[in-house]
Chain A
Amino acid sequence: MWQKIYLWLDERLGLKEMYTGILDRPEPKGNWWNTLGSASLFLFILQAVTGIFLTVYYTPSPDHAYDSIQYIMTGVAFGWLVRGVHHWGATLMVLVVFIHLLRVFVTASYKYPRELTWLVGVGLFLMTLGMGFTGYLLPWNQKAFWATTVATQIAGSVPYLGDFILKVLRGGSDLSALTLQRFFAAHIWILPAILTGLIFVHLFLIIKHGESHFPQKED
Chain B
Amino acid sequence: MNDESKNKIKERYHQVIQRGERFWPDSIFKDAIMALAIFVILILLATFIGVASEPKADPSDMSYVPRPEWYFLFLFKFLAIYGQIPLLGKIEWIATVIVPSIAIILLVLMPFLDKSPNRYYSKRIMPLSIMGVLVTSMVSLTLMADVPTGTSLPGILQTIGGLVIPGLAYILILLLAFFFKKAPATCMAWTAVAAGVLMVGFTVAVLFLAPAPVTAETVVANTVIEKIQAGQDLYAVNCVECHGEDGKVTKIEGVKGLEGKEIPAINNNDVLYTLDDASIGEVIAYGRPIAGMNPFGKAFNPEGLSKSEIDYIVTFMRYMWDDRFEKPVLKPLYPPLAAGEVPSYDVHIAPIFNRYCVSCHRKGKDNNNFWVTSYDEILKTGDNAPNVIAGDANSPLLTLISGTPIMDPADPTKELAGKMPPNNNLKPDIVAVIKAWIMAGMPQTADDAAKLTPVPVPTATPKP
Q: Which residues of A contact B (CB under 8 A)?
A: 22-30, 32, 34-36, 38-39, 42-43, 46, 62-63, 66, 70, 73-74, 80-81, 83-85, 87-89, 91-92, 94-96, 98, 102, 105-115, 118-119, 122, 125-126, 129, 132-133, 136, 139-147, 149-151, 154-155, 157-159, 162, 174-175, 210-213, 215-219
CB proximity of B124 to chain A, nearest CB, Å: 6
Q: Give the residues in chain A near B390, CB-CB below 8 Å.
A: none
Q: Are B278 and A215 in contact (CB under 8 A)?
A: no
Are B38 and A32 closer than 8 Å at their CB atoms? no
Chain B residues with CB under 8 Å of A118's CB are 110-111
> How many angstroms between the C-alpha atoms of A23 and B12 in the bound complex?
22
Q: Closest CB of chain B to A182's CB: distance in Å?
A: 16
B96/A143 in contact, CB under 8 A: no
Chain A residues whose C-beta falls within 8 Å of the C-beta of B23 in the assembled complex? 22-27
Q: Are B12 and A25 in contact (CB-based, < 8 A)?
A: no
Report whether A32 and B34 are in contact in the complex, using a CB–CB cutoff of 8 Å: yes
A217 to B28, CA, bound (A): 28
Check: B270 CB closer than 8 A to any chain A CB: no
Interface core residue of A35, A87, A98, A157 (most chain B CB under 10 Å) = A35
Which residues from A are CB-within-8-Å of B223? 74
Shortest beta-carbon distance from A145 to chain B in Å = 4
Q: Are B124 and A108 in contact (CB under 8 A)?
A: yes
Note all chain A residues with C-beta closer than 8 A to B49.
88
Contact B71 A24 (CB under 8 A): no
**CB atoms of A126 and B104 under 8 A apart:** yes
B93 near A91: Cβ-Cβ < 8 Å: no
Chain B: residues with Cβ within 8 Å of the partner, total of 75
Write the chain A residue with the least CB distance to B124: A108
Name, among B56, B67, B127, B222, the residue most crowded by chain A CB atoms within 10 Å (CB to CB). B56
**B57 near A219: Cβ-Cβ < 8 Å:** no
A74 touches B56 (CB 8 A): no
By the criterion CB–CB under 8 Å, are A84 and B31 in contact?
A: no
Measured between beta carbons, the chain B residues less than 8 angstroms from A96 are: 38
Q: Could you list 18 examples of A-B contacts with CB < 8 Å? A: A24-B23, A46-B38, A80-B46, A85-B43, A94-B71, A96-B38, A105-B127, A108-B119, A111-B9, A132-B71, A143-B67, A145-B58, A146-B66, A151-B68, A157-B97, A158-B97, A162-B93, A219-B12
Q: A89-B42, A132-B71, A147-B69 are in contact. Are A215 and B31 (CB under 8 A)?
A: no
Contact of A63 among B31, B39, B278 (CB under 8 A): B278
| A70 neighbours in B (Cβ, 8 Å) | 222
Residues on A with C-beta less than 8 A from B93 are: 157-159, 162
- Residues B51 and A87 in contact, CB atoms below 8 Å apart: yes
Picked from B41, B45, B47, B131, the residue with its CB within 8 Å of the CB of A102 is: B131
Residue pair A24, B22 in contact (C-beta under 8 Å)? yes
Chain A neighbourhood of B66, CB < 8 A:
143, 146-147, 149-150
A27 and B278 in contact, given A74-B223, A81-B46, A84-B47 (Cβ under 8 angstroms): no
A110→B111 contact, CB < 8 A: yes
A88–B39 CA distance with the chains assembled, in angstroms: 10
Q: Is B20 in contact with chain A by the CB < 8 A criterion? A: yes
- List, in ascending order, chain A residues with CB within 8 A of B39's CB: 42, 46
B72 to chain A, nearest CB (A): 7
* Alpha-carbon gap, A210 to B23, bound state (A): 10
Does B17 lie within 8 Å of A26, measured CB to CB?
Answer: yes
Q: How far is the CB of A191 from chain B (nearest CB, A)?
A: 15
In contact, B50 and A219 (Cβ under 8 angstroms): no
Q: Are A219's CB and B119's CB within 8 A?
A: yes
Asked whether, in the complex, the Cβ of A46 is within 8 Å of the Cβ of B71, the reply is no
Contacts of B6 in A (CB 8 A): 112-113
- Please, which residue of chain B has its CB at the minimum distance from the CB of A106? B128
| Minimum CB distance partner of B66 in chain A | A146
Q: Which of B13, B58, B107 contacts A142 (CB 8 A)?
A: B58
B13 CB, min distance to chain A CBs, angstroms: 7
B61 contacts partner chain A, Cβ-Cβ < 8 Å = yes
User: Whose C-beta in chain A lies nearest to the C-beta of B39?
Assistant: A46
CB A43 to nearest CB in B, in angstroms, measures 7
Given the contacts A35-B30, A63-B278, A132-B69, A119 and B41 also touching, CB distance less than 8 Å? no
Complex: A147 Cα to B21 Cα, angstroms: 47
B27, A115: Cβ atoms closer than 8 Å: no
> Is B4 in the interface zone, CB < 8 Å from A?
no
* Neighbouring A residues of B19 by C-beta, 8 Å: 28-29
B55 at the interface (CB under 8 A from A): yes
Most chain B CB inside 10 Å of its own CB: which residue of A32, A105, A212: A105
Instruction: Chain B residues near A119: list those with CB within 8 A.
Output: 108, 111
Contact call B30/A24, Cβ cutoff below 8 A: no
Min Cβ gap B31→A in Å is 4
A91 and B16 form a contact (CB under 8 A): no
Query: Is residue B117 contacting chain A, with contact meaning CB distance below 8 A?
Result: yes
* Contact across chains for A28 and B16 when beta carbons are under 8 A apart: yes
Whole-angstrom CA separation of A108 from B12 in the bound complex? 15
Q: Are A144 and B57 in contact (CB under 8 A)?
A: yes
Decide: B22 and A26 in contact? CB cutoff 8 A.
yes
Tell me which residues across on chain B come within 8 A of A91, comparing CB atoms.
69-71
Q: A66-B57, A106-B131 in contact; A111/B22 too (CB < 8 A)?
A: no
Across the interface, do B16 and A213 meet the contact criterion of CB distance under 8 Å?
A: yes
Add 17 more A-B contacts to A32-B30, A42-B34, A102-B131 (CB < 8 A): A26-B20, A27-B26, A30-B26, A42-B39, A66-B57, A80-B46, A85-B42, A92-B42, A95-B71, A108-B118, A110-B110, A112-B111, A141-B56, A143-B67, A151-B68, A154-B96, A219-B120
Q: Is the Cβ of B27 less than 8 Å from the Cβ of A34?
A: yes
Cα–Cα, bound, A111→B111 (Å): 6
A37, B326: Cα distance in complex, Å: 53
* Residue numbers in A under 8 Å from B72 (CB-CB): 132-133, 151
Cross-interface CB contact of A210 among B13, B34, B110, B124, cutoff 8 Å:
B13
